[in-house]
Amino acid sequence: MRNTKRELPLFSMYDHTGMERHLEEMAVQGWMLEKTTGFGWVYRRCEARRVRYAVTYFPKASAYEPGPSEDKQIFQDYCAQAGWELVSDAAQMQIFRTEAENSLPIETDAAIQVDNIHRAMKRSFLPSHFALMAVSLLWAGLLGWRLITDPIGLLSSNSNLFTAFCWTIVLALSLLEVGGYFLWHRRAKAAAMRDGSFTPTRSHRRLQAVMLVVVLMALVVWLLASALDSGRTLALALAGLLHVMILVALVNLLTRFLKRRKVSARTNRTVTLVSAVVLSSLSLVLMGYGIFRMIDHGWFGEHQGADTYTFHGLTWDVYRDPLPLTVEDLIDIDASDSYSYEWRDDSSVLLANLEATQHARLDVPEPIPELDYQIILVKLPLFYSLCRDSFLSRAARHNDQMPPEYWDEYRLTDFPAWDAQSVYQLYRAGEPCDRYLVCWPDRILQIDFNWTPTAKQAALAAEKLRAI
Q: Tell me: the pLDDT tens digits for 408-427?
A: 999 999 899 999 999 999 99
Residue 233: band (very low, low, confident or very high) from pLDDT cuts 50, 70, 90: low
Q: Compute the distance between CA of residue 264 and CA of residue 43 in angstroms, rounded to an integer.
A: 31
Give pLDDT, residue 231: 56
Q: In this predicted structure, which of 207-221, 291-305, 327-341 has the lowest mean pLDDT?
A: 291-305
CB 328 within 8 A of CB 336: yes
Residue 227: band (very low, low, confident or very high) from pLDDT cuts 50, 70, 90: low
pLDDT at 303 exceeding the cut of 60? no
Average pLDDT over residues 192-212: 89
The single-letter DSSP state of residue 320 is: B
Q: 3-state SS of 176-222?
A: HHHHHHHHHHHHHHHHHHHHCCCCCCCCCHHHHHHHHHHHHHHHHHH
**Cα 224-225-230 angle, rounded to 5 deg:** 100
Average pLDDT over residues 126-148: 92
Give Cα separations from 47 to 84, 100, 101 (angstroms).
Answer: 19, 16, 17
Strand segments, DSSP code E, in 58-150 are: 85-90, 93-98
Residue 269: count other Cβ atoms within 10 Å of its Cβ.
Answer: 17
Residue pLDDT, tens place only, 48-81: 999 999 999 988 888 788 888 888 888 889 999 9
CB 267 within 8 A of CB 274: no
Q: Compute the distance between CA of residue 188 and CA of residue 111 in angstroms, rounded to an integer.
A: 8
Give pLDDT, residue 322: 92
Give pLDDT, residue 69: 81
Across the chain, mean pLDDT equals: 88
The single-letter DSSP state of residue 326 is: -
pLDDT at 228 exceeding the cut of 70? no
Residue 21: band (very low, low, confident or very high) from pLDDT cuts 50, 70, 90: very high
Angle between helices 231-260 and 205-229 (to 10 degrees): 130
pLDDT over 70 for what percent of the chain? Answer: 94
Residue pLDDT, tens place only, 364-391: 888 899 999 999 999 999 999 999 999 9
pLDDT at 216 exceeding the cut of 80? yes
Q: Which helix (H) or strand (E) holds 378?
A: strand 371-378
Give pLDDT, residue 163: 86
Residue 299: band (very low, low, confident or very high) from pLDDT cuts 50, 70, 90: low
CB 296 within 8 A of CB 290: no
Average pLDDT over residues 130-148: 92
Residue 187: band (very low, low, confident or very high) from pLDDT cuts 50, 70, 90: very high
Q: Compute the distance between CA of residue 460 and CA of residue 468 in angstroms, rounded to an integer.
A: 13
Q: Compute the distance between CA of residue 208 and CA of residue 169 in angstroms, rounded to an integer.
A: 10
CB-count exposure of residue 97 (10 Å: 0-12, 13-18, 19+):
buried
Q: Which is nearest to 338 in space by CA: 293, 369, 379?
A: 369
Give pLDDT, residue 382: 93
Give pLDDT, residue 193: 94
Farthest-apart Cα atoms in the chain, separation: 100
Q: Compute the distance between CA of residue 456 and CA of residue 462 in angstroms, rounded to an integer.
A: 10
Q: Compute the distance between CA of residue 58 and CA of residue 127 in angstroms, rounded to an integer.
A: 17
Give pLDDT, residue 2: 83
CB 378 within 8 A of CB 453: no
Residue 440: band (very low, low, confident or very high) from pLDDT cuts 50, 70, 90: very high
- Collapsing DSSP to helix, strand or coil, 42 comes out as strand
Give pLDDT, residue 289: 73
What b/e readout covers 174-191, taking b as 16+ CB neighbours within 10 angstroms? bebbbebbeebbeebbeb
Which amino acid belongs to residue 21? R
Average pLDDT over residues 179-204: 93
pLDDT over 90 for what percent of the chain? Answer: 51
pLDDT at 301 exceeding the cut of 60? no
